[in-house]
Structure 1
Amino acid sequence: MSTYISIKDAASFLSVSEQRVRTLCRAGELDAQKSGGSWIVQGESLEKYAAMTASTIAEDHPAYNVPKMSTTKPIALSFFSGAMGLDLGIEKAGFDIRLACEVDKYCRQTIAYNRPNTALLSDISQYNALDIRTAAKLTKQQDIDLIIGGPPCQAFSTAGKRQGFNDDRGNVFLKYIELAIELNPKYIVIENVRGLLSCPLEHRPHDQRGIDFPDLSDDELKGGALNFILNMIIKAGYGYSFNLYNSANFGTPQIRERVFIVCARDGSTPPFLTPTHSEGGEHNLPRWKPLRSCLSNIEKHDHLHFPEKRLKYYRMLSAGQNWRSLPESFKKEAMGKSYYSGGGKTGFLRRLSWNKPSPTLVTHPAMPATDLCHPDVERPLSVQEYMRIQEFPDDWCLAGPLIQRYKQVGNAVPKSLGVAVGKLILKLLRGESVRAIPNFKYSRYKNTSHIDWLSEFGKRKSAAQKKCA
């Protein structure tokens, strides 16, 4: 559709009421204009809206328009691709993302719309190595340069029940490792949350611990899940390194920390990612990017709303403040029962600061304990602002209703962190040297590199063995 059509025809095309189409026109969801007192809708805008809000799951399909071998970039396959935040960074570094694998229907629509030539598969547990190669149009003999994936993190999250591999999502984590090893790429990258560093493989209830019970096994120790994963990697002949990386150190205007395990088929220990920024300009690097650097010139804002009872307090706060900056007489009233709970509670009634990176984006910016309020306006951050902070292109189209679009962006890996991963792998593929910055503070936490983590896990094992003896 390249012309304007009537409200009646638009309603028929979308299978909604004419009143709903008028609402979409007034809200700016459709490219429309008034003609003789009635709305007319631009056809291409209508098709785009239909594609982004469809309830059907995008179909599996192989890679299309695969370039000839002589011009092919290094090949990367992506699993648990989400809205492709990490993939966009890997792609920018110079890789051909030949395949995406994602089960969420809205993410699948997003992938299919923005990268229609990329092979698309769904549930990773349904495929073997041959299926993957066939979809990516790779022969059995063709080498894969990189496999990347961030298996579901909820099973390991410090905010969850820490079920580890006993959770179904943990099982697909193991499926990813097994499949990646079978595909035998030159490099495997595993992305996950900080909780992976301390999650046991098997959780023993606390009422079954102590002198009257057997000592904890390796799998039951803190870090048992990661120890299990590393043993799988070593057994397959891969070398590895890992660390917890703050995305602000790589140019993202957001403090977001993720574990990256980089595995090398040649058995070597890959170097750490090369940071491009530092908090205070240490190591002669530029300072962290503030929120102000990315939120200008946004034409349209799709956003949730705060309830009026919270807006009352936001009107009393300035950029960078939270509930603690309220007048003393309003603090208990604003916080209710949460006033007496422990912890810093810094996410309650939180206005973001223009002069600092954003805190970690969550999947819902208007939850009471993790508010992400605009520095100046009485509303949560918009989806478009989420996209800027996570470094998605402005023209990247997100499928689904508003809350699903927030979720897709909130779950993503920032693009700059993906670029850093891609550049590291590209240098290793080319045999180029990688810049190391001694004593760089990659995150806010201690003992997060493979060197420190292995030392700490060894101490826990020794303590358990001494107790047993």
Structure 2
Amino acid sequence: MQFMELFAGVGGMGLGLEAAGLTHLLSFELGDAPHDVLVHSGKLAIKMDLRDVGNAVLAMRQVPDVIVGGPPCQDFSIAGQRQITDRAKLTQHFAQIICLARPEWFVFENVPRAGKSSQYKYARALWKRHGYGLTEAVLDAQFYGVPQRRERLFCVGRLGEIDQFLLAELKSAATKGMVVRDILDPKRDDDAALLAAGAFFARPWMGKAGEPSGRGVISIDEPCPTITRNRHEAPGDAYQRHPDGAADIKEAHILTPGQVARIQGFPTAFDFKRKKQKRAAEGWPEAVVNLMVANAVPVTMAQRIGKVIFDRHHGLSLPKLGPDFTDFLLARKRKNPKSKTLSDRALENIRHNTNRALRMCDGRIYSDIWRQIAHLESGFDKTGKPFSAMTASVQSDLRNAIIAYCEYRADAKRFPPSDWAPAKPLARDLRLRAFAKPVRRKRKGTELAPATPHPITERIGKTVTWPPPYRPGSLDPELSALMDMFDPYDHDDPYIPQPPAIDPDEAWRPEGYDRDDYDGYYEVDEDDESGG
């Protein structure tokens, strides 16, 4: 499974996806310092402005399985100025690149406030119109392997799926919240000093003059606040101690740049090309590196999300059947008063067939039921037996099970739309089709479809009823006229092109002999002595 990374930064999301088993193909980054770090770390990276959507797609040279990226969030972030500029439109450009390249998967990451912007609404509508099913959720990094309170909006899209198809799996990937103590190594000098202090200073909002500042002294048994570019800086003279601080400000440890990077999930050996000396010619200043670290996606968090995508892509994980699926089956059965109540054994058989059908569909949940059935009929079970080799009764049970499951997932009460879905459906509604059976009208006597004029009937001079009424014991003359009209053996019809008649005695002649100028090509000149 291969991926490309847009707005890569220093490649935090890419490192996490590689740790999850995906293969890196290409990264795009416009900034000088992040691009230099990417190349230094061995990544193939292109320095390009992604506002040039067409050239960006052409530069890919191939369509990967996944395209990931987190457009700049400064215009939406609480820590920023919260003023929408041209930089916010990069979210729209990201969506346009996705829809032009059309990978099977994509991952979009940004701050939660971005989901309320018009730029994200545009991107979401564009993805839906191009057939992507979207799983949208705000995830907190402290529950995904990072000792940091960092909420981010993730949108995972896949072609042909229903919305929120991966939500349960993303929630299941969360574990117990991590704290700073979990990543400390007592053999390292800086970590030993932090363990001895028991608390560290995380630069908070300074507040107004004379008022207590934000809670800046944090215990190592808590997660760190969201990493920013100045999180590791020492407190200034204007800092006012917060009453809920974990320790006195003089006793608090000041985080080192290496500790900040590890709180973001970067490995200890990762090289950000820091300047070894303040005036060194090579490397990047400390402020530039701190900004790159703060803007990165936490590596371990990206690894957890990438593992969920990897398992579903290869059919290693299946949608789980919740306990309410049984309630849905019972309620579905009650709607038909002629049917019998399902026994416990019948319910267990349906759940077994549903899991078997989902496994044959590689865990996919299509928005189109006919694509779902087509995938099922082309699939194999876990023993390698194809669907076509199964008995008719087994095939019927599997089809009915997958249809019931699709109805279950289409139930808006059990699976409500995401908080970012529009209140009104789009003009081109891509929701799951209704499974209601078509109404078959019973014929009463000789009543059929009403008489309608047909162009063919103009050839017999009048309008007739089509389809013709059935009259037992006799054949309607108008029907006979129409049957004669469509007789394939009637070659006298001037409307039907007739093959040329060939005299059997002249069958030896070459093709084209009946042309007026045929003999002229082979006319012999009497003055020619050769006779040629």
Give 1:423 deviation, angstroms: 1.3
SS at match of 2:157: strand
How far is the alpha carbon of 1:250 from its aligned partner?
Answer: 1.2
Equivalent position amino acid for 1:319 in 2: A
Q: Is residue 426 of structure 1 aligned with residue 310 of structure 2? A: yes
- Give the aligned partner of residue 280 of structure 2: none
- In 2, are the aligned partners of 1:190 and 1:262 still within 8 Å (CA)? yes
Alpha carbons of structure 1 residues 323 and 251: separation in structure 2 relative to 1, 3 Å: closer
The corresponding residue for 1:296 is: 185
Q: 1:339 aligns to what?
A: 211
1:4-403 superposed matches below 5 A: 74-116=1-43, 118-126=44-52, 128=54, 131-132=56-57, 134=59, 136=60, 138-139=61-62, 143-164=63-84, 167-199=85-117, 201=118, 225-269=119-163, 270-272=165-167, 273-275=169-171, 287-297=176-186, 299=188, 319=199, 337=209, 339=211, 345-347=213-215, 350-365=216-231, 366=233, 380-399=254-273, 400-403=284-287
Partner secondary structure for residue 303 of structure 2: helix
Counterpart of 2:513 in structure 1 is none
Give, in whole Å, the separation in 1 of the partners of 2:317 and 2:310.
11
Q: Which amino acid aligns with 2:78?
A: T
Please state whether the residue corresponding to 1:339 is helix, strand or coil: coil
- Aligned with 1:88: secondary structure? helix
Aligned mates of 1:289, 1:133 — CA distance in 2: 42
Alignment correspondent of 1:5:
none
| 2-structure distance, mates of 1:370, 1:427 | 49
Report the CA distance shift for 1:434/1:104 in structure 2 as closer, same or farther (over 3 A). farther
SS at match of 1:196: helix
176 and 294 in structure 1: CA distance in 2 versus 1, 3 angstrom threshold: same
Contact 1:271 1:436 in 2 (8 A): no
Structure 1 unaligned segments of length 5 or more: list them.
Answer: 1-73, 202-224, 279-285, 302-316, 325-333, 439-448, 462-469
Alpha-carbon distance between aligned partners in 2 of 1:370 and 1:419, rounded to the nearest angstrom: 39
Q: For the Cα contact (< 8 Å) 2:201–2:255, is it kept in 1?
A: no
Q: 2:5·2:67 contact (CA, 8 Å) conserved in 1? A: yes
Any unmatched runs of 5+ in structure 2? 191-196, 274-283, 323-414, 427-532
Q: Deviations over 1:345-379 (max 9, x none)?
A: 534xx1221111111111112376899x9988655
Query: 1:89 and 1:176, CA in 2 relative to 1: closer, same or farther beyond 3 A?
Result: same
Map of 1:46 onto structure 2: none
8 Å Cα contact 1:243-1:450 kept in structure 2: no
The residue matched to 2:268 in structure 1 has which SS? Answer: coil
| Residue aligned with 2:219, SS | coil
State the distance in 1 between where 2:416 and 2:72 align: 21
Match of 2:300 among 416, 434, 438: 416
AA in 2 matched with 1:339: E
CA apart distance, 1:436:
6.3
Judged with a 3 Å threshold, the aligned counterparts in structure 2 of structure 1 residues 298 and 259 are, in CA distance, closer, same or farther, namely farther
Aligned length: 307
Counterpart-to-counterpart distance in 2, 1:320 and 1:184: 46
Q: 1:274 offset after TM fit, Å?
A: 3.1
Identity score, percent = 23
Alpha-carbon distance between aligned partners in 2 of 1:170 and 1:251, rounded to the nearest angstrom: 29
Contact 1:76 1:146 in 2 (8 A): yes
Amino acid at match of 2:181: R
CA distance in 2, matches of 1:374, 1:406: 25
Report if aligned partners of 2:116, 2:420 keep a CA contact under 8 Å in 1: no
Q: Hey, which of these two has a bigger chunk of helix by percent? A: 1
Residue in 1 that maps onto 2:419 = 453
Residue 42 of structure 1 is matched in structure 2 by none
Specify the code of the residue in structure 2 equivalent to 1:274.
Answer: L
State the Cα distance separating 1:163 from its structure 2 match.
3.8
- Residues 242, 450 of structure 1: 8 Å contact kept: no
Cα distance in 1 for partners of 2:81, 2:54 equals 30
Once the 2 structures are TM-superposed, how far is the Cα of residue 133 of structure 1 from its aligned partner?
5.1
Q: For residues 150 and 394 of structure 1, what CA distance do their matches in structure 2 show?
A: 24
Verify the 8 A CA contact 1:89 1:422 in the aligned structure 2: yes
TM-score by length of 1: 0.58
Q: Which amino acid aligns with 1:155?
A: D
- Return the offset for 1:287: 2.8
Q: Name the CA distance, whole Å, in 2 between partners of 1:323 and 1:177.
A: 35
Q: Which has the larger radius of gyration?
A: 2
Counterpart CA distance in 2 for 1:169 and 1:421 is 26
In structure 2, C-alpha distance between the alignment counterparts of 1:388 and 1:298, rounded to whole Å: 15
Rounded to whole Å, the distance in 1 between the matches of 2:141 and 2:203 is: 27
Cα deviation for residue 335 of structure 1 reads 7.1
Call closer, same or farther: CA 1:351–1:246 in 2, change over 3 Å: same
CA distance in 2, matches of 1:125, 1:148: 16
CA distance in 2, matches of 1:185, 1:151: 18
Higher alpha-carbon deviation: 261-270 or 181-190? 261-270
Amino acid at match of 1:111: L
Is the Cα–Cα contact under 8 Å of residues 374 and 381 in structure 1 kept in the other structure? Answer: no
Q: 1:323 to 1:85 in 2, by over 3 A?
A: closer
CA shift digits 1:3-24 (9 cap, x unpaired): xxxxxxxxxxxxxxxxxxxxxx
Q: Residue type of the partner of 1:194?
A: P
CA contact (8 A) 2:31 2:47 kept: no
**Contact kept? 2:8, 2:27, Cα under 8 Å:** yes
Q: Is the 8 A contact 2:38 2:45 kept in 1?
A: no
Rounded Cα–Cα distance in structure 1 between residues aligned with 2:49 and 2:203: 43
